[in-house]
Amino acid sequence: MRKTIKSPSILSIDTSCDETSAAITQGLTVLSNVVWSQSKIHAKFGGVVPSVARRQHERKISWVVERAVNTAKIQYKNLDAVSVTVGPGLAIALGVGINFAKNLAIRYQIPIIAVNHLDAHLMGVFAQANKNNNQSGLTSNNAANLLMPDNRLKHPAFGIVVSGGNTLLVQIEAIGKYEVVAQTIDDALGESLDKSARLLGFGYPGGAVLEKFAKKGNPNKYHLPLPLLGREDEGIYSYSGIKTAFNRLVTSLTERKILTRQQINDLASTYQKVAFDHFFRISKKTIIKNLSNETSYLLAGGGVAANVDFRKRVRTMCKKLKVVPVFSYNKKLYGDNAAMVGISAYFKFLKKEFSNPENIDRLPNLKIDQAM
Amino acid sequence: MEIVSVSTVKIDDVIRILDKGGLVIYPTETMYGIGADATNSAAIKKLNRYKKRPAGKPYSIATSGKTMAEGYVFINKVAANIYKSLLPGPVTVVSHGKHNVAPGVESEAGTLGIRIPDHKLVIDIIKKFGRPITSTSANASYKKRPYKISDVLDNISESQKKLIDLIIDSGELPHKDPSTVVDTTCDDLTVLRQGEILFNNKNEILSRNEEETKNFAKELWQKYEIHFGRRAFVFALTGEMGSGKTVFTKGLAKAVGVTDLITSPTFNLQISYKLQTGHQSLVHIDTWRMSSPSEIYDLDFGENISECSIIVIEWADKIVDEIKKYTEEAVVIWVQLTFGKRENERLIRWMVAK
């Protein structure tokens, strides 16, 4: 007989867009987190743009799940639940993960939990490293301080999700209960960084490469307009304007001659700075507007949070606002991955929020504040 | 609100209403328009409430002829040629305004569009009224083109209906495009909206800001809307980064009744929005990240075509051959956006694939 105090072991799957990922979590502890990145595969073939990939997901998913299970040293029959991202994302890609999860749930007669990918990005900060296997010396973060013993939040908090497909700021009343207070009306921050990187010839996705060049550049060398000046109280981010301005700037410089290494550094640095300036300008004003005496934490998730400068600026903003920033303990938890799905699923498991495997379906346009 | 037939309407009654700042719906040779005294601020404010227009969008005005027009705009040589050869008729001529109209009628740049409708009753009304009236379609912003009175009334709220003082009913009008709008303020004549009358051999308009790009998308949709439900639509968009492809899609979405926030599909590759009308969707695709054109089939492209959905494809030039396969089943419209001379200007060309 299983001991009741043991946290549930959950197998989670995420195939929301490019990445095929599976993870095993036990409560908040990450036992394994396998991410098969399409961009890495394509990078091998000379930086080709990643592909849609229903077939890629279909080809990889068994291997990825198998590997997550083996790494965690768990057996399928000992799983307490399987969870899967149902949205938002690309419908056909989501479908691959959902079908796989559904079959597992039926075969092993375990509950299936439908997870919102955006919720997962926030819940990822609560993930804890496996202490028995903590060879990298990772220390867990301060997220646990925000959780009460019964897994409710001590205080209301804020959350940001900044990735290739999303840019939003939410107010968190309770786990799973969000109110969007700011969001992008066009491009996502991560997408904007990737596109500017492409304009500089870095290939796709180039946000991470842009960061490297930006470090060596002068962020004030060129002028780019800051979007939505004077409209900071509308709760919107917009990246299409600076993208256009940047395209014009790069075009005008390359008309004369090929960019020098230093120019590329300066351009990368300028773009990244203005893109972040805009994000923090809007975020700060929006947070101040919604700040109560009780709110004292900011959870940060999404691939852009892997950017060192971005995290630095989150800390700076939080210091001014007297809010504690909370990041995931491991960089791998920022981008799309299944461990964060497992954490989100764990909170749902406690509330017995299970889905019927026959009815579980993809929700490509799912919003963070939308009931499933 | 009173509805009178075109055969029984008394011009004096119409003038009395216009004089008091009222709104009158009237027939023209293109579609139904809504008229307010263009020199009366209160009347224009009432019209703004009725139209629910984005702030800063100007109104064209209808005059009885060139002489009346000269009291409100500077007519240069380019404009004079058009007045002489094409007016009255479905052309709106934009010139520098003389600031003799109510605020909000001229554009922020001080230009003003003049229209002389080819419709005797309307000309008689304006002549007797002695001042221009607004020349804008009788529908609310982004709603159905008004060819009959029910097109107007079925698509507005009760509170909007209350704002209308008089409707002159002329039955169902022949379905014509709205007037061609030409800007004559520069030496080169620029087409801002293309109707039945063509000024150059290519389909090309100049958009001066994002709002106009959205508006163009709406106009383009309304030109071909009649095929909706029977054939799919493919809007194949081309143009470099930042040229306004997503902006175009926002305007199209608004015109087809999608109220969701339209954001860039670059990351997801495809985002679908359910249409209110039935089981079809507005499918917004971005091929920018695709490595091979065949990936479009991974996105259920064929299914969306057979469901008669409206498909918008950004960076469509990457999948030309795939799109060509569907010219029978779908209305395929190629839209090319390029940067104009000024910062916010875009030249937009379009072509319906045959």
Specify whether A271 is located in the same domain as A316: yes
Specify the number of domains making up chain A. 2
Specify whether A117 is located in the same domain as A170: no
Q: DSSP character for B282?
A: E
SS3 for B305?
helix
Tokens of B3: 């509805």
Does residue A16 lie in a domain region? yes
Cβ–Cβ under 8 Å, residues A94 and A16: yes
* Whether residue A4 has pLDDT greater than 70: no
**Across chain B, what does the average pLDDT equal?**
94
* Whether residue A3 has pLDDT greater than 70: no
Binary contact (B264, A244; C-beta < 8 A): no
The Cα–Cα gap between A294 and A341 comes to: 27
Specify whether A310 is located in the same domain as A169: yes
What band does A1 get if pLDDT is binned at 50, 70 and 90?
Answer: very low
How do residues B239-254 score in pLDDT, each as one tens digit?
Answer: 999 999 999 999 999 9
The rounded radius of gyration (Å) of the Cα atoms in chain A is: 21
pLDDT at A148: 85
pLDDT at B300: 87
pLDDT at B298: 84
By CB atoms closer than 10 A (0-12, 13-18, 19+), residue B141 is middle
CATH superfamily of B2-169: DHBP synthase (3.90.870.10)
Tokens of B102: 């109510």
Residues of chain A with Cβ-Cβ distance to B299 below 8 Å are 52, 90, 92
Closest CB to B267 among A17, A91, A245:
A17
Q: Where do the CATH 3.90.870.10 domains begin and end in chain B?
A: 2-169
pLDDT at B36: 97
Residue B180 β-bridge partners: B91
Closest CB to A54 among B241, B289, B298:
B298
Specify whether A206 is located in the same domain as A63: no
Of B214, B192, B221, B222, give the one whose Cα is nearest residue B205: B192
Does residue A283 lie in a domain region? yes
Assign 3-class secondary structure to chain A. CCCCCCCCEEEEEECCCCCEEEEEEECCEEEEEEEECHHHHHHHCCCCCCCCCHHHHHHHHHHHHHHHHHHCCCCHHHCCEEEEEEECCCHHHHHHHHHHHHHHHHHHCCCEEEEEHHHHHHHHHHCEECHHHCCCCCCCCHHHHHECCCCCECCCEEEEEECCCCEEEEEEEECCEEEEEEEECCCCHHHHHHHHHHHCCCCCCCHHHHHHHHHCCCCCCCCCCCCCCCCHHHCEECCHHHHHHHHHHHHHHHHHCCCCHHHHHHHHHHHHHHHHHHHHHHHHHHHHHHCCCCCCEEEEECHHHHCHHHHHHHHHHHHHHCCEEECCCCHHHCCCCCHHHHHHHHHHHHCCCCECCCCCCCCCCCCCCCCC
Q: Report the range of poorest mean pLDDT among A30-34, A142-146, B296-300.
A: A142-146
Dihedral over Cα of B322, B324, B329, B331: its sign: positive
Q: Which residues of A are annotated as a binding site?
A: 117, 121, 161-165, 194, 207, 211, 307, 336
Specify whether A284 is located in the same domain as A166: yes
The rounded radius of gyration (Å) of the Cα atoms in chain B is: 21
Of A2 and A287, more confident? A287
Residues of chain B with Cβ-Cβ distance to A17 below 8 Å are 267-269
* Whether residue B77 has pLDDT greater than 90: yes
Specify whether A322 is located in the same domain as A337: no
The Cα–Cα gap between B168 and B124 comes to: 14
Residues of chain B with Cβ-Cβ distance to A49 below 8 Å are 288-291
pLDDT at A275: 98
Specify whether A270 is located in the same domain as A304: yes
How do residues B285-314 score in pLDDT, each as one tens digit?
Answer: 999 988 788 888 888 899 999 999 999 999
Residues of chain B with Cβ-Cβ distance to A248 below 8 Å are 242, 339
Does residue A147 lie in a domain region? no
What band does A167 get if pLDDT is binned at 50, 70 and 90?
Answer: very high
Residue A313 CA to its chain's centroid (Å): 17
Query: Which residues span the domain enclosing A307?
Result: 157-326
Binary contact (B241, A52; C-beta < 8 A): no
Q: What is the CATH number of domain B209-352?
A: 3.40.50.300
First to last CA, chain A: 33
Tokens of B164: 């209308």
**Which is it for strands B310-314 and B281-286: parallel, antiparallel or unpaired?**
parallel
Which of B262, B268, B299 to mutate to probe the A interface, most A CBs <10 Å?
B268
What band does B79 get if pLDDT is binned at 50, 70 and 90?
Answer: very high
The Cα–Cα gap between B192 and B204 comes to: 8
Residues of chain A with Cβ-Cβ distance to B292 below 8 Å are 51
Shortest CA gap A231–chain B (Å): 15
How do residues A241-260 score in pLDDT, each as one tens digit?
Answer: 999 999 999 999 998 889 99
* Whether residue A132 has pLDDT greater than 80: no
ipTM: 0.88
What band does A52 get if pLDDT is binned at 50, 70 and 90?
Answer: low
Specify whether A250 is located in the same domain as A287: yes
pLDDT at A45: 41
The number of beta carbons lying within 10 Å of the beta carbon of residue A47 is 14
Specify whether A334 is located in the same domain as A303: no
One-letter identity of residue A144: A
pLDDT at A140: 56
Residues 6 or more apart whose Cβ sits within 8 Å of residue A131: A29
Nearest CA in chain A to B290: A51
Q: Report the range of poorest mean pLDDT among A133-137, A147-151, A364-368, B188-192.
A: A133-137
Domain containing residue A191: CATH number? 3.30.420.40
Dihedral over Cα of A277, A278, A279, A284: its sign: positive
What band does A39 get if pLDDT is binned at 50, 70 and 90?
Answer: low
Does residue A31 lie in a domain region? yes
Closest CB to B268 among A165, A240, A245:
A165
Binary contact (B263, A184; C-beta < 8 A): yes
The Cα–Cα gap between B113 and B99 comes to: 12
Residues 6 or more apart whose Cβ sits within 8 Å of residue B30: B90, B173, B176, B177, B178, B179, B195
Specify whether A344 is located in the same domain as A298: no
Read off the pTM.
0.88
Specify whether A293 is located in the same domain as A342: no
Cβ–Cβ under 8 Å, residues A113 and A343: no
Of B202, B213, B212, give the one whose Cα is nearest residue B239: B213
Specify whether A198 is located in the same domain as A291: yes
Q: Where do the CATH 3.40.50.300 domains begin and end in chain B?
A: 209-352
pLDDT at A321: 94
Binary contact (B246, A165; C-beta < 8 A): no
What average pLDDT score do residues A279-300 get?
93
Q: Which residues of A are annotated as a binding site for substrate?
A: 161-165, 194, 207, 211, 307
